[in-house]
Amino acid sequence: MNQSGSVTSSVADGVAQVEFGHPKSNSLPSWLLRGIAEEISSVGVRDDVRVVVIRSVGTGAFCAGASFDELSVIADEVEGKEFFMGFARVILAMTRCPRPVIARVHGKAVGGGVGIAAAADYAMATSAAAVRLSELAIGIGPFVVGPVIERKIGHGRLAAMSIDADWRDAAWAERYGLFARVFETTEALDDALGDFARKLVSSNPDALAQIKRITWTGTDDWPRLLEERAALSGRLVLSRFAREAIQAAKTPRR
């Protein structure tokens, strides 16, 4: 599998920036998921880091979710489970990170991208950041990202997003708790994010750590739960329905 794309991190003035990118609308192949989880885990324990920001490259989509190229070549349940475990590891890295994690959502988020926004302690977005869960259309469901999204927006709204796959605009995401703040432009988003990150850097780190611990209370079973969900997705992606739907989604429309 061609490993196009990138994951980078940098630290300045107490703020770690973890940035991922992929030429196909910032989609997420397995190696990229692994890199995101590793970078967050690494910077999150550095003594010179007080806040972690997760972001993606470009001015288009924030994240298109799972890589269809990789989904289409999964050969068996073992490979399928391992692919979806990539999303589990990112969610666990974000929620277990001892520092607060801010998501910078500059554009549309689909599937796993919605999961990344939900796994952040605080998500800041632009008005262009519509969200959707489109997994059912390709024969699976938002099983791995579901628990963290449900924790932010509630069971009923997760169920609705899971079965109708309609776009929800950024105002909807803010209203129901997926986004903490929404801004009209990327420039306004970045100005506010910078100010907010600096405020957190100057806050009591012990208090922030306790807030984070309490925020994610009740998720101790997530390693087991998300592994089970990854196995479920890994089985379903092998179905004839999923194979045909993924191939159709990869085929350019004329």
| Containing structural domain, residue 17 | 6-191
Mean predicted confidence (pLDDT) in 125-154: 97
pLDDT at 208: 96
**Residue 140 placed within a domain:** yes
CA distance 135 to 155: 17
**Residue 106 placed within a domain:** yes
| Helical packing angle, 30-43 and 77-96, nearest 10° | 20
Task: Tell me whether strands 122-126 and 6-12 are parallel, antiparallel or unpaired.
Answer: unpaired
Under 8 Å between Cβ of 71 and 121: no
**Residue 240 placed within a domain:** no
**Residue 112 placed within a domain:** yes
User: How many domains, in total, are found in the chain?
Assistant: 1
SS3 26: coil
**Residue 243 placed within a domain:** no
CA distance 223 to 89: 9
Give φ, ψ of 85 to 5 degrees. -65, -25
Q: Is 23 a residue whose pLDDT tops 60?
A: yes
Report residue 4's pLDDT band, with 50, 70 and 90 as the boundaries.
confident
Report which of 230, 117, 227, 226 is spatially closest to residue 180, judged by C-alpha positions. Answer: 117
pLDDT at 252: 58
Mean predicted confidence (pLDDT) in 194-223: 97
Beta bridge partners of 66: 28
**Residue 34 placed within a domain:** yes
pLDDT at 1: 47
Report residue 3's pLDDT band, with 50, 70 and 90 as the boundaries.
confident
Mean predicted confidence (pLDDT) in 197-215: 97
pLDDT at 124: 99
Under 8 Å between Cβ of 18 and 44: no
Q: Could you tell me the CA-to-CA distances from 129 to 39, 41, 126, 187, 191 in Å, in that order?
A: 24, 26, 6, 14, 17
Task: Write the CATH number for 146.
Answer: 3.90.226.10
Only one residue has tokens 């926004």, namely: 117
Report residue 249's pLDDT band, with 50, 70 and 90 as the boundaries.
confident
Tally of residues, the chain: 254
**Residue 152 placed within a domain:** yes
